[in-house]
């Protein structure tokens, strides 16, 4: 995210513009040190990578490796589906449900497909993120991570929604119903009649 938004102010501006001020306030409140990304659900963080425009602008150079993310024709679609599988498995771990051996095997394959291009980009100094460093957590750090994840999950009401294709900015106002449109037109016409007389 650092490449796309070099500081919190630009990130917060982007989030406010594309997700709305209410969601931004919620994330800032739930995040540590008033950091919006810390307050986001896994699916929301994943969306910040797989959104069509953001992926094309910031991440396609990392994930353009022909040997990775090839399940679908588009690497972005494969990444989105893999991350959604991760979301589902994460939800089970948060709920203290054991993962099956098939789920663990699938996660391992998907992890390799996702991480390999990022690790290569790190080695080539195209990103500052070193995926291998995330595997260095000890038992206490790992336990703390999951406890924090469970707390945030409870506060947010769970991460139930599939990772969508793209970010849909909030509507400025809800669309008018046919009755509301008719009332508005009628009021404007009567107002016009009143001005003319």
Break the chain into its structural domains and give their ranges: 8-196
Enter the tokens of residue 98.
């054991």
Split at pLDDT 50, 70, 90, the class of 78 is very high
pLDDT at 23 > cutoff 80 = yes
Q: How confident is the model at residue 124 (pLDDT cuts 50, 70, 90)?
A: very high
Q: What does the pLDDT read at residue 91?
A: 97
Residue-wise pLDDT for 29-39, tens only, equals 988 888 899 99
Cα gap 53→168, rounded to integer Å? 11
Q: How high is the pLDDT of residue 143?
A: 94
- Mean pLDDT over 124-134 rounds to 91
Q: Residue 53 above 90 pLDDT?
A: yes
What does the pLDDT average to over 20-42?
Answer: 90
Distance, first Cα to last Cα, the chain: 61
Angstrom CA distances, 126 to 113, 136, 187, 189, stand at 18, 22, 59, 61
pLDDT of amino acid 177: 77
Is it the case that residue 5 has pLDDT exceeding 90? no
Residue 51 predicted with pLDDT over 60? yes
Structure tokens at 15: 């989030």
pLDDT of the residue at 2: 59
CB pairs under 8 A, 24+ apart, for 161-166? 161/43, 162/43, 162/84, 162/87, 163/43, 163/46, 163/47, 163/50, 163/80, 163/83, 163/84, 163/87, 164/47, 165/50, 165/51, 165/52, 165/80, 166/47, 166/51, 166/52, 166/53
**Rounded mean pLDDT of 20-28?**
92
Q: Does residue 135 sit in helix, strand or coil?
A: helix
- CA distances in angstroms from 60 to 54, 75, 154, listed in the order given: 9, 8, 34
- What is the three-class DSSP state of 146? helix
Higher pLDDT, 194 or 112: 112
How much is the mean pLDDT over the chain?
88
d(Cα 180, Cα 176) in Å, to the nearest integer? 6
Read off the pLDDT of residues 133-192 as tens digits, 9 standing for 90 and up.
988 889 999 999 999 999 989 988 999 999 999 998 777 656 667 787 777 777 767 666
Over the range 148-166, which residues count as b (16 or more CB within 10 Å of their CB) and which as e? ebeebbeebeebeeebeee
Average pLDDT over residues 84-110: 96
Q: How far apart are CA 165 and CA 109, in angstroms?
A: 23
């Amino acid at each position: 995210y650092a490449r796309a938004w070099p500081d919190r102010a630009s990130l917060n501006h982007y989030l406010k513009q594309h997700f709305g001020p209410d969601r931004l306030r919620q994330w800032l409140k739930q995040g540590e040190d008033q950091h919006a990304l810390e307050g986001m659900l896994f699916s929301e963080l994943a969306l910040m990578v797989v959104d069509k425009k953001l992926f094309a602008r910031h991440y396609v150079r990392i994930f353009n490796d022909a040997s990775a993310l090839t399940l679908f024709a588009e690497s972005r679609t494969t990444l989105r589906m893999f991350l959604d599988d991760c979301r589902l498995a994460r939800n089970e771990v948060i709920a203290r449900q054991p993962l099956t051996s098939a789920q663990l095997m699938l996660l391992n394959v998907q992890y390799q497909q996702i991480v390999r291009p990022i690790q290569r980009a790190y080695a080539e100094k195209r990103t500052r993120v070193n995926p291998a460093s995330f595997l260095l957590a000890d038992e206490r750090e790992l336990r703390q991570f999951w406890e924090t994840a469970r707390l945030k999950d409870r506060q947010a009401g769970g991460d139930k929604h599939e990772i969508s294709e793209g970010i849909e900015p909030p509507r400025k106002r809800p669309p008018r119903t046919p009755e509301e449109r008719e009332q508005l037109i009628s009021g404007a016409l009567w107002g016009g009649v009143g001005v003319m007389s």
